[in-house]
Structures are given as C-alpha cells and as structure tokens.
Amino acid sequence: MNASFRTLLGRSLPRRIPRLPIVFVAVVSVLVLAFPASQSRAAFPQAAEGASVAVATENADATHAALETLRNGGNAIDGAITAALTLGVVNPVSSGIGGGGFALVYLKKDRKVVALDFRETAPQKIDVEKLLAQNGANAQAAQRGHTVGVPGEPAGLELLNLRYGKRSLAADAQPAADLATRGFSLGRHMADSLARMREYIVQSPDLARAFFPGDNPLGYRAVVRRPELGRTLTRFGGEGSRPFYTGDIAKKIVQAARSAGGTLDESDLTAYRVRERAPLTRTFGARTIYTMPAPSAGGLMLLEAASILGADSTSMLAKLGFGSSEYLHFMAEVMRGAVADRARIAGDPDLEPTVNESYERALATDRMAARQKKLDPYKTHVAPEFKSTEQGTTHIVVADVDGNVVSLTTTVNGPFGARLVAGDTGILLNDELTDFSSPSDVAGFGVIGLGPNRPRPGARPVSSMTPTIVLENGAPILAAGGSGGLRIAGNVMQATLARLVYQMDPGACVSAPRIFVHGATPEVLVEPDVPEDVRAGMRARGETVRESASSANAVQMVAWDRRGPQPRLLATADPRKHGFALAQ
C-alpha cells in the first residue's frame, strides 16, 4: 500500500496489568499475500501484537489517550470514551461531540454483547422539502441548518460510562480536554482534509479561525489549540450530558442550527434518548457474529455476506484465493443484494415497526440459500435484480485486561459535518439528516415514495456504520468497524471475512485493496492497488470496473489468536487514514 502503517512501543503498564515476557507493538516484518489470478504479490504491514490490552483508532493521540486510560484503572469502555472524545478534538473532519454513533460492548463477566444506539434524530419541525433540496458539500451556510440532527454522542458516551465504566466521566474526558486546551500536532489525515476541503471550510468563520490562520490551511504537525472545545469537554466530564440537552449549551446548539436555516428546537434536545437494542446476530458453527441492528444497514450486509459465502475455512471463498477476480466478483454480487435490501427495508425501527421483522426475513436461511444459488462466476446482476419472495466517520476498538471489548463508531456524517459551530462551545454540528433517503437513492429499486428511510419528525436516519464483535465458543476472536460513509459496510465485510475465512494477519485484512458497489448501477469501483489482470478477470465475469481512489475510508480491527497456550491480541489501524494501533 502507498500509505505507511505506523506502530510505536508504549510505556510499561502499571502493576495491575500483568508483566509479560514479550510485548510487540513495533513490527518490522511484513506479511506477503498472493493474488492467485495474477501471481502478483503485495506486501502489507503486520498488526501490533500483545497479550492483555489493545487499542486501534484513526489517530495516534487518540490511541495513546485510550491506552493511558487503561493504565490508570479504566476498562475498555472508559478507553473507548476517551478515544472518541479525543478523536473529536484532533480529527473534527470525522467526528465530535456534536455528532452521534453506535457502540457494541462485550462484557466478559456477563458473557453478553449489548448494543447502544446514540444516532442523531430529526427535529419535530423538520422541513423535508428544504432538506431534500440540499446540495451536499456545496450547500451554502444559510442552508446547512436543515441538515443538523439532535446530537447523540453526549448522551451515548455518558450512558456508556454510567452503566459499564470503571472511572468517572471526568477522568475519561480529561485527556481530550487537555489536548484541546494545550494543543496537539495536526495529523496527516486532518492536514490532507484541510487542503482538500478549503473552499468549504472557509465558509465557516469558526473553523477557518482554528485551521486557516492567515487564510492558509495548517500543515502536517502544525500545533492546533481549541480552547473553547476544551472548556466544553471539561464541563461534559463534570456535569455530564445535561447542559447539552436542557442547559445553556443546548441553547447555543439550537441557535447555531437555526441561524443557518434549520428548524431544531430546544424541545428536540430535551426529548432525546439513547436506545439499547438487541444486537443483530447469526451463528456459524462455533462462531457467532454480533453486529449493529437497524437503523444500521451495515450489519445486515455483513450477515448476508457471511450467510451466503461462509464465515470460516469451509467458506466457498477459501478455494478461490484471496483477491482473485472470482473472489472480488462474488463480493460485489453479495454487496448488490445488500444494497437492494437497504433501499427497500432499512429504516428507524422505532417508527417503522416492521423493520426488525424485515431484517429477520431478509436473513432467513432459505432466502440466503437462494441468493447463493444465484451467484454465477460469469454473470453480473444489477442491484435491483436481487429481489425478495447503505463520509465523515471514525471507528474505535478497545480490548482490556479483564476481557471486555468495545467496538464503537462515531460520526458527524459529511466531512466537518454541517461546518457549523455552536457559539463559543467549540462544538461542530453534524449534517446527519442528509442520510435520509432521497429520490436518487431509491431510484430503480421499486420503492414507493422514499421508503422506510424517508425523512420525518423524530426519525433516526439509516446508517452504514457496522461495529462488529465475533465470538468463537463464547470468547472474542475479532472486533472491527470502520469509517467512510456508504463504503463502511462493504469495507467491514471484506476485512472481517478476510480474517474469518483466511486467518490473515489483521494488518493485511484492513490494508488489502477493496472494492465498492453503490446504488442501482452495475459498476464496481476498485482501489488502485487491485492488479490490472485481476480487473481484466472481473470484466470477463461481467463486471463494469472503474478505478476509484479514496483516503476517507478506514477499518480498525482487533483479533485474538487462541491457537497457542497464551492468546495473542493483534491490533491494527487502516493506513488509508494514517491510523494507529497499540497492543501489550
């Protein structure tokens, strides 16, 4: 890959975490994988290795902050909260406390996985006509308020802390508050994003003041301070989420959205609630995959792929060879079916009572068997043919010494969200309401109107976020998730199956070239590192292939190798966004 993977040896852990004879974090060797169709070879970095704890995020500051939380008495939940808040400081292009997300938590003591939905919601007075008229990143400042949903991250992180954390919320929030106040070095991904998004960011005086001094974007490793956000995070640690939903911070959020044409009201924030949902699960032999249910459509794609293709060494993929043209063709076909299902059945289960039942019907054994029979090595379908009888996001994986695991995705949706800052709070607001279906999203799928993901008061828009945890014989063997808007589900699916089917090193699983299928078109997008002879093989199988480079998507993964007497933790972060992983 043309982006380097960086690892760094952390300091020793305190006595509460056992000392181990070997601790790997810096790795100099690489894993070599073959693409059988072309005999070409590509080298990928290996995962960081440890035996007790692991953290994988999209930024080194966030990974180090989470590890420090583990060292100082926190568990995986505390570490994930610290990482999420830190990422909102150092990577506002992707996430922040003005956004929302999903979390899967494996609790070792209780031997169960819980799912928390802190997705944003639409205001009661949502103006659907003006929302659908938005023009994405080109929307003018006076229009962007219509895209702002009620932030869910403050409530979600607070609930995680209260229910499952070991430290106080103040302790979990302090590292992020300190970084915002004292300053941090701008990471490579943020620096690249600033240069790329200049014409949009300068429309926001607050963002421009922080990241474009003298009308020029700050560069890699420039020191950035966000003191207003630092004060807000300190208040969050001390007061919890209340000021964000009923206090002075809530008023500033509303004022910012309404000043840009939005309809958000204080009553919308007061009414917000985090939802605990039953994880979407399927068992394959000794393995059970836990992933996010509706309003996520990502979990549906992952489980459809595992059901059709297999989730262990007996998978039909195993004999094809990783990365071959037939392998990628079958991946694309499975994605097309899931894209069609998303358009037809995915929605907010609180407002669409049939959504959960529709997911179960979609995953029915006989239906998945019929989908498998429809796969043809030399025929490509368009997504609407799979009929029945889903950018600015970040993912975190944390595993602690007690065996708890968190897979958490948080987002402000588009790059820098709505590019609106709530007064003097430093809070960057989301533009999550653009995730509701538009006419172009459902065109060609036979959907009546805008379907179950239509914009309406109080609804949570469908998301591609796919936090996932896999257990084998009751013990975790993999935790993963990703960022990248509509690419998330397919990316997580490809990386997860690479590990489950081929037992590839996690570093290779997340670094290998990926493909993407979108909408009702027959086209498949391939990353530049897919070899030309593999592309030729895909075309021979009926695929319409187009190269598409993207640095705004990434997968984070922690895997357990339990084959020896001592389990090994393998942590990796995607080089596409210059991610960073540590394991000890």
Per DSSP, what are the bridge partners of residue 288?
283, 471
Contact 290, 462 (CB under 8 A): no
**Which residues of 66-200 form beta strands (DSSP E)?**
100-107, 112-118, 184-185
Give the number of residues written for the chain: 584
Maximum alpha-carbon separation in the chain: 63
Q: Which amino acid is at 97?
A: I
How many whole angstroms separate alpha carbon 555 and alpha carbon 539? 27
Structure tokens at 372: 């498998």
Helix axes 76-90 and 227-239, enclosed angle (nearest 10): 150
Catalytic residue among 393, 409, 496, 572: 393
**Sequence-ordered list of residues with C-beta below 8 angstroms from that of 362, at least 6 positions apart, any chain:** 300, 304, 341, 345, 388
Q: Is the peptide bond before 293 cis (omega within 30 degrees of 0)?
A: no
Q: How many CB atoms lie within 10 A of CB 522?
A: 16
Helix (H, G, I), strand (E, B) or coil at 276: strand
On the CB side of 76, how many CA atoms lie within 13 Å of its CA? 28
Contact 151, 253 (CB under 8 A): yes
How many whole angstroms separate alpha carbon 77 and alpha carbon 82? 9
How many whole angstroms separate alpha carbon 49 and alpha carbon 445? 45
Backbone φ and ψ of 358, nearest 5°: -65, -35
How many whole angstroms separate alpha carbon 393 and alpha carbon 554? 9
Q: Is 389 a catalytic residue?
A: no
The kind and range of the H/E element at 355 are helix 355-362
Please provide the DSSP assignment of 16-58 as one string: TSPP-S--B-----EEEEEETTTTEEEEEEPPEEESS-EEEES
Active site residues: 393
